[in-house]
């Protein structure tokens, strides 16, 4: 082993030296009772210097798949094998996580619209400021893990502002089959960090309030791919997906919404590949006197869909991304060979674990 040329990671209350791995809790606020609100953090600081990558999960407190991804990543790597630093914030929204709510409880504040935060702002904004200054802004790259909101699910995909070349490289390295282009929302971790010179992607995976093992394994491999692409793990060869879809303009992806209220029944499946004109779902009134069929506007993949079976006009039904002929053919072959089974979502046997 060459002599260490790593750089200490200073987080205010302490410092993780090169060659060290530290698990700790970092205080970001207080409860009514005066107890500390502290985020669990792992810093793995490589003996050799290199980029700093942050991982964050549960900024929406009930989105749990990423929490498990970070637990695995934090256990898996040692400082001796890393060039650079892995900064893992296991749970960003601690009050929401404790209450199993998306937002910061009581005030219903979206922590993921509160970055970079304010020292003298509201509760969410103060927590955001502590986390941002200590663990996000000092990094060079980032990955923020999410799931769908409750009563919906989402295909495993990445969201990224692909006009930034490093974000583009990061999104591709992570190796998800589907990457959706978007600048993201003001105040989100991804948008704030990216605009601040810390290229960041969001990973959307499955359902809230669950651990979904095959998605978690895939994301752990995605993190390994990013580590090798950016030379934090120089020994490892990255893997690449067999097909790749980028929703890179507004016309190529669309949320289909209900025009009428009623009872929704999904008609597609079991694979989320639909052809132009295929019925995606029907909406009926309670007397079944009227039935409205919602067709696929183009050939594409359903990357998100409604699980709650009743809808009002304007409610989202599904999120569809257009695919080209070549991608369509690769996916069709994978369906025939069984390789696409991990994406079988609208099917009772697979519902629990997709
Ligand atoms: Zn989320």
Ligand 1 centroid distance, CA of 55 (Å) = 14
Residues 157, 298 within the same domain: no
Residues 202, 267 within the same domain: no
Residues 260, 167 within the same domain: no
Residues 45-101 pLDDT 10s: 999 999 999 999 999 999 999 999 999 999 999 999 999 999 999 999 999 999 999
Ligand 1 centroid distance, CA of 103 (Å) = 10
Ligand 1 centroid distance, CA of 334 (Å) = 29
Q: Which of 108-117, 187-196, 199-208, 231-240 has the lowest mean pLDDT?
A: 231-240
Residues 258, 295 within the same domain: yes
Residues 213, 255 within the same domain: no
Ligand 1 centroid distance, CA of 71 (Å) = 18
What's the total number of domains in the chain? 2
Higher-confidence residue: 319 or 137? 137
Ligand 1 centroid distance, CA of 89 (Å) = 15
Q: Which domain holds residue 256?
A: 251-351
Confidence of residue 151 (pLDDT cuts 50, 70, 90): confident
Confidence of residue 211 (pLDDT cuts 50, 70, 90): very high
Ligand 1 centroid distance, CA of 329 (Å) = 32
| Mean pLDDT along residues 229-254 | 78
Residues 100, 191 within the same domain: yes
Q: How many other C-beta atoms are found inside a 10 Å radius of the C-beta of residue 65?
A: 28
Ligand 1 centroid distance, CA of 58 (Å) = 7
Q: Would residue 34 count as lying in a domain?
A: yes
Residues 74, 169 within the same domain: yes
Beta-carbon contacts of 304 under 8 Å, excluding residues fewer than 6 positions away, are 148, 152, 153, 154, 155, 204, 255, 316, 318, 319
Per-residue pLDDT at 328 exceeds 50: yes
Residues 263-287 pLDDT 10s: 999 998 888 899 999 999 999 999 9
Q: Would residue 235 count as lying in a domain?
A: no
Specify the pLDDT at position 348: 35
| Mean pLDDT along residues 111-116 | 97
Q: Would residue 238 count as lying in a domain?
A: no
| Mean pLDDT along residues 5-29 | 96
Specify the pLDDT at position 71: 98
Contact yes or no for 79/47 (Cβ under 8 A): yes
Ligand 1 centroid distance, CA of 160 (Å) = 14
Per-residue pLDDT at 350 exceeds 50: no
Confidence of residue 177 (pLDDT cuts 50, 70, 90): confident
What are all long-range contacts of 333-336, with beta carbons under 8 Å and residues at least 24 apart?
A: 334/242, 334/243, 335/271, 335/273
Ligand 1 centroid distance, CA of 208 (Å) = 9
Residues 29, 121 within the same domain: yes
Which CATH number covers residue 89? 3.40.630.10
Residues 110, 255 within the same domain: no
Contact yes or no for 206/183 (Cβ under 8 A): no
**Which residue matches tokens 């079988």?**
344
Residues 302, 224 within the same domain: no
Specify the pLDDT at position 180: 83
Ligand 1 centroid distance, CA of 146 (Å) = 4
Which CATH number covers residue 282? 2.40.50.100
Specify the pLDDT at position 262: 95
Q: Would residue 241 count as lying in a domain?
A: no
- Residues above pLDDT 90, as percent of the chain: 69
| Mean pLDDT along residues 167-172 | 94
Residues 215, 277 within the same domain: no
Q: Give the C-alpha separation, 354 to 349, whole Å.
A: 10
Residues 263, 222 within the same domain: no
Ligand 1 centroid distance, CA of 32 (Å) = 26
Confidence of residue 349 (pLDDT cuts 50, 70, 90): very low
| Mean pLDDT along residues 176-191 | 90
Q: Would residue 256 count as lying in a domain?
A: yes
Tokens at residue 218, please?
A: 């895939």
Q: Would residue 239 count as lying in a domain?
A: no
Ligand 1 centroid distance, CA of 47 (Å) = 34
What was the ipTM of the complex prediction? 0.98
Q: Give the C-alpha separation, 271 to 153, whole Å.
A: 14
Ligand 1 centroid distance, CA of 90 (Å) = 14
- Average pLDDT value over all residues in the chain: 90
């Amino acid at each position: 082993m060459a002599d260490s040329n790593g750089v200490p990671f200073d987080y205010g209350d302490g410092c993780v030296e090169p060659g060290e791995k530290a698990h700790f809790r970092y205080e970001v606020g207080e409860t009514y009772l005066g107890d500390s609100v502290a985020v669990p953090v792992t810093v793995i600081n490589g003996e050799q210097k290199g980029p700093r990558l942050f991982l964050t999960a549960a900024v929406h407190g009930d989105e749990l798949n990423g929490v498990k991804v970070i637990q695995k990543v934090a256990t898996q790597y040692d400082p001796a094998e890393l060039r650079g630093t892995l900064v893992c914030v296991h749970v960003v929204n601690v009050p929401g996580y404790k209450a199993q709510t998306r937002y910061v409880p009581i005030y219903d504040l979206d922590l993921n619209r509160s970055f970079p935060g304010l020292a003298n702002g509201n509760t969410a904004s103060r927590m955001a400021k502590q986390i941002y200054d200590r663990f996000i802004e000092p990094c060079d790259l980032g990955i923020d893990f999410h799931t769908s909101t409750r009563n919906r699910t989402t295909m495993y995909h990445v969201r990224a502002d692909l006009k930034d070349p490093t974000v583009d490289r990061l999104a591709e390295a992570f190796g998800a089959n589907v990457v959706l282009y978007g600048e993201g929302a003001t105040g989100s971790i991804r948008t704030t960090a990216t605009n601040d010179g810390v290229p960041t992607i969001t990973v959307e995976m499955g359902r809230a309030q669950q651990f979904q093992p095959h998605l978690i394994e895939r994301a752990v491999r995605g993190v390994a791919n990013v580590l090798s692409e950016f030379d934090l793990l120089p020994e490892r060869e990255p893997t690449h997906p067999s097909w790749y879809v980028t929703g890179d303009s507004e016309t190529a992806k669309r949320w289909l919404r209900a025009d009428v209220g009623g009872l929704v029944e999904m008609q597609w499946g079991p694979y989320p590949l639909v052809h132009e004109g295929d019925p995606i779902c029907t909406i009926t009134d309670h007397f079944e006197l009227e039935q409205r069929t919602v067709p696929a506007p183009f050939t594409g993949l359903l990357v998100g869909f409604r699980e709650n079976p009743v809808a009002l006009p304007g409610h989202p039904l599904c999120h569809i991304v257009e695919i080209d002929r070549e991608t369509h053919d690769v996916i069709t072959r994978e369906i025939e060979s069984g390789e696409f089974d991990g994406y079988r979502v609208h099917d009772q046997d697979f519902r629990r674990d997709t």
